[in-house]
């Protein structure tokens, strides 16, 4: 899985949570919570979906590292051990 | 003989459109069975029944809009007295002035069509649009070759499944409904307001420790702790849990917490978590997840909307510190939780940084007074200081 694949998975899952927004046109450096108006339940659902789909653990203490789109992709890539 | 009626799903609903029957005449039904789907300002709602018996016949066909209280079906073997809605819903919660009765009360069963055109009921037409089924290729199995809901289902099942289109809610309708309920609340309910600041250190530490060993699907949110603390505290404050009707205050038969859920794009619903005081945190969390998902996809059940005996709003979760609630009639209280924030906090003469949260109560002075409300808020605080006991 490449970095682009990881980004595609993230876009797909964000699209499920905020279906009315085009996740592929997000500002990659903006806070996802603000950008997509997601609450803690949405965020937990996102983490649940990502961890199940990518088969990685995402501890709660790492949540801050998923704050923006770019940071989230960096983090997931690192957890997966994908060469960037 | 009992009657299964168009339920009132809150003070803000005066009519609903029958979308679909999920049971057939001759089917035996029992309390809790989902019998029909009704379209309201809150989206499509599954209507469950509160009595036992056998469905004798339908009185209203899909696609028909009828006022609240209109009989939808006859139930054989049911007690007439129990034919309306659940005991917890006061019969006197008359929805704001009833709309003019429709001509001849109930339109006869016939898909609304014109000669020479396709005979398709509105519900079937809508389903066809959602599932991408072309009406031209279909042969209807209804009277006069009318295309029925089930025909579309059959055709859709044969065709390649398409992801369900997101539910289209009518936001203008929902806004109007919210306006009606809130105007009534502000007009009729003498609100009093109380506020307290709750230190969250223990609850947050307990959550962090608990969640550290759990996969995301089993993690708890602070909201689950807050709801449980409210539910337990209500056990000691029955004057805050129930309905105010023409007969005065009626205590709720259980603690059914309406949980305010924002709908993406605008509007909100507050379906009930039933008997929240008896649920474990895990069960409560699972129900909350399920309710949020179904509220947003427009698939709530009628009893979930008519049952709440109090409402809790977590509105301030990440934006504001204090919620000044407006009670949802005929309920008599609303608890609001603000955003957890880090603030200077004095402990044993030392000022330290602590995470705190503002909890507010808006309550109906006809049912309780501030002293009761103050004890209730203090009790919520107390319970959140021992999260392991929740």
pLDDT, tens digit, 9 for 90 and up, residues B279-318 = 999 999 999 999 998 888 777 888 888 889 999 998 656 6
Non-local CB neighbours of A24 within 8 Å, separated by 6+ positions: A11
Mean pLDDT confidence for B184-193: 96
Chain B interface includes A41 (CB < 8 A):
yes
Of B208, B216, B318, which is closest to A44 when you measure between CB atoms? B216
Give me the helix-helix angle, B281-297 and B222-234, nearest 10°.
Answer: 110
pLDDT at B85: 41
Model confidence over B345-358: pLDDT tens digits? 998 999 999 999 99
**pLDDT < 50 positions in chain A:** 83-84
Range with the poorest average pLDDT among B106-110, B145-149, B185-189, B219-223: B106-110
Chain A interface includes B266 (CB < 8 A):
no
Residue B239 has what DSSP assignment? G
pLDDT at B211: 96
- Global pTM value: 0.71
Q: Which of B240, B282, B278, B253 is nearest to B367 (CA)?
A: B240
Q: Residue B272: left (phi > 0), alpha (psi -120 to 50), or beta?
A: beta
Mean pLDDT confidence for B128-148: 65
CB contact under 8 A, B264 and A39: no
Chain A interface includes B264 (CB < 8 A):
yes
For this complex, say whether ipTM is above 0.85. yes
CB contact under 8 A, B215 and A57: yes
- Between the CA of residue A83 and those of A1, A3, A4, A58, B388, what are the distances in Å? 9, 8, 11, 19, 43
Non-local CB neighbours of B214 within 8 Å, separated by 6+ positions: none
Q: Which two tokens stand for residue A70?
A: 């770019």
Give the CA diameter of chain A: 32
Model confidence over B55-66: pLDDT tens digits? 888 888 888 888
Determine the residue among A22, A33, A60, A62 to mutate to test chain B binding: the one whose Cβ has the most chain B Cβ atoms within 10 Å.
A60
Whether residue B331 is predicted with pLDDT greater than 70 in this model: the reply is yes
Chain B interface includes A21 (CB < 8 A):
no
Inter-chain Cβ pairs, chain A and chain B, closer than 8 A? 43
Chain A interface includes B153 (CB < 8 A):
no
Percent of residues, chain B, with pLDDT higher than 90: 45
CB contact under 8 A, A61 and B212: yes
pLDDT at B293: 87
pLDDT at B107: 29
Alpha carbons A15 and A30: distance in angstroms, whole number: 16
Mean pLDDT confidence for B202-218: 95
Torsion angles phi and psi, residue B133, rounded to 5: -95, 125
Query: What CATH number was assigned to the domain covering residues B171-389?
Result: 3.30.559.10
Range with the poorest average pLDDT among B97-101, B123-127, B298-302, B325-329: B97-101
| Architecture in CATH for domain B2-82 | Beta Barrel (2.40)
Query: What CATH number was assigned to the domain covering residues A3-80?
Result: 1.10.1200.10
Q: What does the domain layout of chain B look like in residue ranges?
A: 2-82, 171-389
Please give the mean pLDDT across all residues of chain B. 81
pLDDT band at B99 (very low <50, low <70, confident <90, very high): very low
Q: Determine the distance from the C-alpha atom of residue B371 to the mean position of all C-alpha atoms in its chain, rounded to a whole number.
A: 30
Chain B interface includes A20 (CB < 8 A):
yes
Q: Three-state DSSP class for B85?
A: coil
Determine the residue among A18, A21, A39 to mutate to test chain B binding: the one whose Cβ has the most chain B Cβ atoms within 10 Å.
A39
More confident residue, B158 or A6: A6
Using an 8 Å Cβ cutoff, are B54 and B204 in contact?
no
Q: How far is B216 from chain A (nearest CA, A)?
A: 5
Alpha carbons B373 and B300: distance in angstroms, whole number: 31
Whether residue B215 is predicted with pLDDT greater than 90 in this model: the reply is yes
Whether residue B45 is predicted with pLDDT greater than 70 in this model: the reply is yes
Q: How far is B338 from chain A (nearest CA, A)?
A: 13
pLDDT band at B116 (very low <50, low <70, confident <90, very high): very low
Chain A interface includes B117 (CB < 8 A):
no
pLDDT at B83: 38
Q: What does the domain layout of chain A look like in residue ranges?
A: 3-80
Residue B41 has what DSSP assignment? T
Q: Which of residues 28-67 of B touch A (CB under 8 A)?
A: none
Whether residue B234 is predicted with pLDDT greater than 90 in this model: the reply is yes
Residue A24 has what DSSP assignment? G
Distance separating the N- and C-terminal Cα atoms of chain B = 45
């Amino acid at each position: 899985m490449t970095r682009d694949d990881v980004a595609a998975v993230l876009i797909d899952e964000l699209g499920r949570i905020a279906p009315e927004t085009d996740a592929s046109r997000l500002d990659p450096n903006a806070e996802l919570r603000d950008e997509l108006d997601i609450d803690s339940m949405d965020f937990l659902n996102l983490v649940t979906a990502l961890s199940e789909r990518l088969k990685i653990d995402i501890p709660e203490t790492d949540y801050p590292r998923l704050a923006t789109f770019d940071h989230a992709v960096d983090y997931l890539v690192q957890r997966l051990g994908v060469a960037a | 003989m009992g009657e299964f009626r168009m339920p009132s799903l809150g003070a803000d609903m005066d009519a609903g459109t029958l979308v679909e029957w999920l049971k057939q005449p001759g089917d035996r039904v029992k309390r809790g069975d989902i019998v029909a789907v009704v379209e309201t300002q809150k989206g499509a709602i599954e209507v469950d029944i509160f009595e036992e018996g056998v469905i004798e016949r339908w009185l209203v066909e899909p696609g028909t809009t009828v006022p609240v209280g209109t009989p939808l079906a006859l139930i054989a073997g049911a007690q007439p007295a129990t034919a309306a809605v659940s005991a917890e819903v006061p019969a006197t919660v008359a929805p704001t002035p009833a709309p003019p009765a429709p001509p001849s009360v109930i339109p006869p069963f016939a898909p609304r069509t014109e000669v020479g055109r396709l005979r398709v009921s509105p519900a079937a037409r809508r389903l066809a649009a959602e599932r991408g089924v072309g009406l031209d290729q279909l042969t209807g199995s209804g009277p006069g070759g009318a295309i029925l809901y089930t025909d579309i289902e059959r055709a859709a099942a044969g065709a390649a499944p398409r992801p369900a289109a997101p539910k289209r809610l009518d936001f203008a309708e929902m806004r109007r409904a919210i306006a009606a309920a809130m105007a009534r609340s502000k007009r009729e309910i003498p609100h009093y307001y109380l506020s307290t600041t709750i230190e969250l250190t223990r609850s947050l530490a307990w959550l962090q420790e608990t969640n550290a060993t759990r996969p995301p699907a089993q993690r708890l949110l602070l909201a689950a702790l807050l709801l449980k603390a409210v539910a337990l505290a209500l056990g000691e404050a029955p004057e805050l849990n129930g309905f105010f009707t023409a007969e005065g205050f009626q205590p709720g038969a259980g603690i059914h917490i309406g949980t305010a859920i924002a709908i993406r794009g605008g509007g909100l619903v507050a379906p009930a978590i039933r008997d929240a005081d008896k649920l474990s945190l895990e069960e409560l969390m699972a129900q909350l997840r399920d309710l949020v998902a179904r509220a947003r996809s427009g698939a709530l059940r009628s009893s979930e909307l008519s049952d709440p005996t109090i409402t809790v709003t977590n509105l301030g979760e990440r934006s504001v510190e204090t919620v000044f609630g407006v009670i949802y009639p005929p309920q008599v209280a609303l608890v609001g939780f603000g955003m957890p924030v880090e603030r200077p906090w004095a402990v044993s003469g030392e000022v330290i940084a602590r995470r705190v949260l503002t909890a507010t109560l808006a309550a109906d002075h006809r049912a309780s007074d501030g002293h009761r409300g103050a004890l209730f808020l203090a009790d919520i605080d107390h319970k959140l200081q021992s999260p392991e006991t929740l």
